[in-house]
A and B are shown apart, each in its own frame.
Chain A
Amino acid sequence: MSMKPWLHGRKPGDRRVRVERPHAEFFRYTGPGTFVAREAASRPRTSTGRAIERIRHALFGRPLSIHEEITERLSKKKALAIFSSDPISSSAYATEEILRVLVLVGAGALLVSLPIAMAVALLLIVVSLSYRQIVRAYPSGGGDYAVARRNLPRIGSLVVAAALLLDYVMTVAVSTASAAEQVISAVPDLASFQVAIGVVAITLITLGNMRGLRESGNIFAVPTYLFVGSALVMIVIGVFRIVVNGEHAAPPSPLPGAPAVPEMLGALLLIRAFASGSVALTGIEAVANGVPAFKPPEPKNAARTLAAVAIILAVLFIGITFVAYSFGVVPIDDPVRRTVISQVAGIAFGDNSIGFYLFQTFTALILFLAANTSYNAFPRLAAILARDGYMPRQFSFQGDRLAFNSGILVLSIVALALLIAFGGDTHALIPLYSVGVFVAFTIGQSGMIVHWLRERPAGWQRGLAINLLGCTMTGVVAVVVLIAKAPTSLLVAIVVPIVVGVMLFIHRQYQASAGHLAVREDVVIPPPRREERVIVPVAGINRAVIQAINVGRSIAPDIRALLISDSPDEALAIRERWERQLPDVPLVIVESPYRALVGPMLAYLDVIDQTWPQGKEQPVTFVIIPEYVARNWWERLLYNQSANRLRRVLIGRPHTVVVNVPYRRDEDEDAPRPASP
């Protein structure tokens, strides 16, 4: 510690000295032998590093300490807004998906849109009842993955995990695509920017999440309530006009260019329409994933919130479908896409009215929010999988802003790729969406069946019956969606097993390496008994070499320098100087008439290994590589190329430790000069 100059007090003789605390800038002492690194300790030390850091801070904000992690508990009202944006936003496109199938058959087919919506709503009620069981049985959260991991064989939980990861990716792609369509429905001039709008939205959401955006702020609650409120107003106006004013629907016309289909409803089309409408259920699992975020009593509050989400979703979905059917609304793709919900809004509020534009804005906002919910769920699930050893470990690392950056980036890249590949078309993306969700639902419910049978708590029969019904229904829907939405949906049947296979492969790798590295806990580790020897590859005598030799001397007395030379005369001259200046360190010269460096070096190491006495444990060979520290990027091109090559081939060689001894140019002045001629 050093002192600053004396400070004078009010009275003569009242002097004091401020003592500098050099560690204080970088560390804070917290207990014997324990320090906490301050932000300054993580600051880059090079000018380039500092410049990059400034850019990162401008983009993502200053680094956050782990103590700054938001651990806010959510009230039911706030949780409803936060967890419902994903499921409720699906009401913006679920009706349209039903109508897109039915309209192919003809105007009369639209009649069944309402019964189909009701059937989907019934399924929604069963699924939400099933999830209430999960919420109560697994208050620590984690949803389907937690249930499957606890109750099913490993493969089951991995299938759920893969399906959920896919679900989250699809939520981003579908929600942003749909949001872009809502924007275009309001402002048709932007039609040519449909994909660009989605790309910009995903990029902004990515940046926001890498800055550590959290869903707990009011900013996330307001758009959800605005959408729900305005959608309810829209439905009430629509129903009023139908029931009270007795307004009649204009006869719906088939889509321009639609193929001629007989005026009969086949069972297959009904099933297809139902499968399309079941997309309304996507996101309903969000509450079960986030039970710990609720205020106590968490399970009770989460279960109530889940019920409220299901009721709101069912009302919106049936209401929008009813108004759309009554007014003969069908999706319009030509000349510019107009979504069903935007047409319903046009009917209720008046096309180009302020109400219409506001509703379209709220719809787009809730869809963007729905995309954002995946940015919370996907990286967290990936982090859990990484901690379980099924995904690369970097997925469990939190970045500067406490966000799981790897998960966020992967999510964004895959979602962007899908959005671009499918031209930002929600309808084209949805078949991929539903299958994964229903697979996760089904396996989660089967996990709950095992849970009830195994645990048998009070009232287990009721829980078992609900989950059995939920499992059967979602299982049937999963198969139906898979078949009805083929061939696109079959992609999921390929992707999920591939993801599971990759997870298993990663797990096996990690387990194998852990097995190799494991140390028995009951063993006291003795000091090493193996002999050590040091080899310093040299090209002559210079300060870097001498520094490396000195480091080698501190490691083991068995030290030798190795010169690989393609010039015998030069080698002899070096030997003569070496023996004069470093007489206690033997120099081995290997002449290399083929001018190779690395090969003869490795061969020499192999030979000295082979000449080691049989039956005696091989020594540890320290290869000490002198290295000149480059000060600029261009100096890095000029120096150390041979050293780098040598290091690359030596790393991983048995019984060999590679040591770099960097020599800094500014050590010239400080270091005592070696005896030089």
Chain B
Amino acid sequence: MVGFGHMPESGNPAPIRKAILGLNGGPTDELVVHLGCQLAKPSSGELVAVHVIEVDWRHELSEEMTDENLAASSVLDLAEGIAERYHVKLSGDLLQAREVAAALVDEAIELGADAIIVGLPYRKRFGGDFAIGSTIPYILQNAPCQVIVAREPVPSSGERRESREPRPVSGGLGLR
């Protein structure tokens, strides 16, 4: 399921020349990358996969978060691998910021992106729902471009019973 924000007046999403993919190592990452590739391919568009590491106020913004950075870097690499299969150009961008949403919007502005694609995971705990949180609303309100929210498929009732955490994507690059 895909939701569009900031649609052009024609009602159809404009062709994507450059899109920001918001990744976080969660279960919707693959969905977001596949969707981005499918949307960018017809117009030979370019994708920038952005992983923002949220740095809380106890740390300096520029403090080296080595473990988080390595894990995030592997997420970006995996996204590149998917894009390669589509023959779509994708570059990875790893950021540290206080607010993920603001960083994504600012990055989209700086890169002149015409779409931001983010994922909305399905929460399996507590009966299951879509907790939209604060990131997506911020992006919807502040992004100067299209916003596409890719919803994680709702699991079947059998699957829903198997409560499980979102699978973390790898613990690092093995470069240390």
Contacts and interface: CB of A to CB of B under 8 A. Distances in A.
B9 interface: no
B64 A16 contact: no
Interface string B125-158: 0000000000000000010000000000000000
A33 B106 contact: no
Contacts of B84: 67
Interface in B50-91: 52-53, 61-62, 64, 66, 69-70, 73-74, 76-78, 80-81, 84-85
B103 interface: yes
A17 B99 contact: no
Contacts of B85: 67
B105 A10 contact: yes
A194 B99 CA distance: 74
A29 B76 CA distance: 9
B171 to A, nearest CB: 8
Contacts of B77: 24, 28-30
Contacts of A7: 106, 110
A250 interface: no
**Majority secondary structure of chain B interface residues (helix, strand, loop or mixed):** helix
A3 B64 contact: yes
Interface string A27-48: 0111111011000000000000
A24 B106 CA distance: 23
A520 interface: no
A3 B106 contact: no
A454 interface: no
Contacts of A18: 93-95
Interface string A308-332: 0000000000000000000000000
A669 interface: no
B69 to A, nearest CB: 5
A267 to B, nearest CB: 64
A529 interface: no
Interface residues on A, range: 20 to 34
A33 B174 CA distance: 6
A9 interface: yes
B170 interface: yes
Contacts, number: 88
B167 to A, nearest CB: 13
Contacts of A2: 64
A299 B59 CA distance: 67
A667 interface: no
B61 A17 contact: yes
Contacts of B52: 16
Contacts of B73: 1, 21, 23-24, 29
Given A15-B97, A18-B94, A29 B62 contact: no
B81 to A, nearest CB: 6
A14 B142 CA distance: 13
A6 B105 contact: no
Contact of A28 (B70, B80, B96, B110): B80
Contact of A23 (B53, B78, B173): B173
A153 interface: no
A9 B97 CA distance: 10
B114 interface: no
B80 A1 contact: no
A352 B112 CA distance: 62
A16 B97 contact: yes
Contacts of B74: 29
Given A9-B102, A29-B73, A29-B78, A17 B96 contact: yes
A390 B34 CA distance: 45
A1 to B, nearest CB: 5
Nearest to A22: B175
A14 B99 CA distance: 7
Contacts of A33: 174
A19 interface: yes
B160 interface: no
A13 interface: yes
B94 A14 contact: no
A11 interface: yes
Nearest to A3: B62
14 contacts: A1-B64, A1-B94, A3-B62, A3-B64, A6-B61, A14-B106, A15-B98, A18-B93, A24-B76, A24-B92, A30-B81, A32-B174, A35-B173, A36-B81
Given A10-B106, A16-B97, A67-B84, 5 more contacts: A9-B102, A9-B105, A14-B103, A16-B96, A21-B94
Closest 6 CB pairs of A and B: A9-B106, A29-B77, A16-B97, A14-B102, A19-B94, A16-B103
